[in-house]
Amino acid sequence: MRYSNKRLVQIAILAAIASIISILERFIPMPVPFVRPGLSNIFVIMALFINPWGALFVVLTKVLFTTAVFGGLFQPVVVIQISGGIAGFLIMYFLVVSKIKISLIGLSIAGAFFHNIALLYTAAKFANISGIYNLFSIFSVISLISGFIVGVSTIYIIKALQVRGVYWE
């Protein structure tokens, strides 16, 4: 298998795993409606270091696949989720490409924060929900918690893969 094919396969595997994790996350009971831990973003972060545009593919694949499974493919929530996913991807992409010294935890928190800000903004504009900005502080705290959990989980998964001889560039 050629090197570029290897990266393509890695991105496809990460997209598949992220999609499955995203589906499974919907079954986790959460105290706040519509809030999930975002564990599928572990695989977006991993893809970011293989191929940045591959990470965007992982984001779009998991959103479209998950919403298709749950019958919401042509619902407004798809636009809201895609905007959040793209915003999170863009800030993480910027931080990685600009060579800013940031840990995987910091990278994850930044992605989660911008993801949630884009969700709120898109929901306010697209669904015309005026009071949604009142949730900003709650979503900020959720971003810190979920971003931290995803960042730490990413570190442990990468280390576990390295122990088994699998290296992600």
Token readout for 149 is 């959990």
Q: Which amino acid is at 67?
A: T
For residue 126, the model assigns a pLDDT of: 78
Token readout for 94 is 């910027």
Average pLDDT in the 38-59 region? 92
Domain ranges across the chain: 3-163
The helix/strand/coil state of 72 is: coil
Q: How far apart are CA 92 and CA 107, in angstroms?
A: 6
Residue 47: band (very low, low, confident or very high) from pLDDT cuts 50, 70, 90: very high
Which pLDDT tens digit goes with each residue over 96-132?
A: 999 889 999 999 999 999 999 998 888 888 777 777 7
Token readout for 156 is 């442990």
Residue 1: band (very low, low, confident or very high) from pLDDT cuts 50, 70, 90: very low
Q: How far apart are CA 152 and CA 85, in angstroms?
A: 20
Token readout for 100 is 């800013």
Q: How far apart are CA 88 and CA 109, in angstroms?
A: 9
Which pLDDT tens digit goes with each residue over 49-103?
A: 888 889 999 999 999 998 888 877 778 788 888 999 999 999 999 999 998 899 9
Q: Which residue has the higher pLDDT, 122 or 150?
A: 150
Of 22, 115, 7, 108, give the one whose Cα is nearest residue 54.
7
Which pTM was predicted? 0.87
Q: Which long-range contacts (CB under 8 A, 24 or more apart) does 66-69 make?
A: 66/19, 66/22, 66/23, 66/26, 69/23
Instruction: Give the CATH fold of the 3-163 domain.
Output: Arp2/3 complex 21 kDa subunit ARPC3 (1.10.1760)
Q: Which residue has the higher pLDDT, 14 or 1?
A: 14
Q: How far apart are CA 89 and CA 112, in angstroms?
A: 9
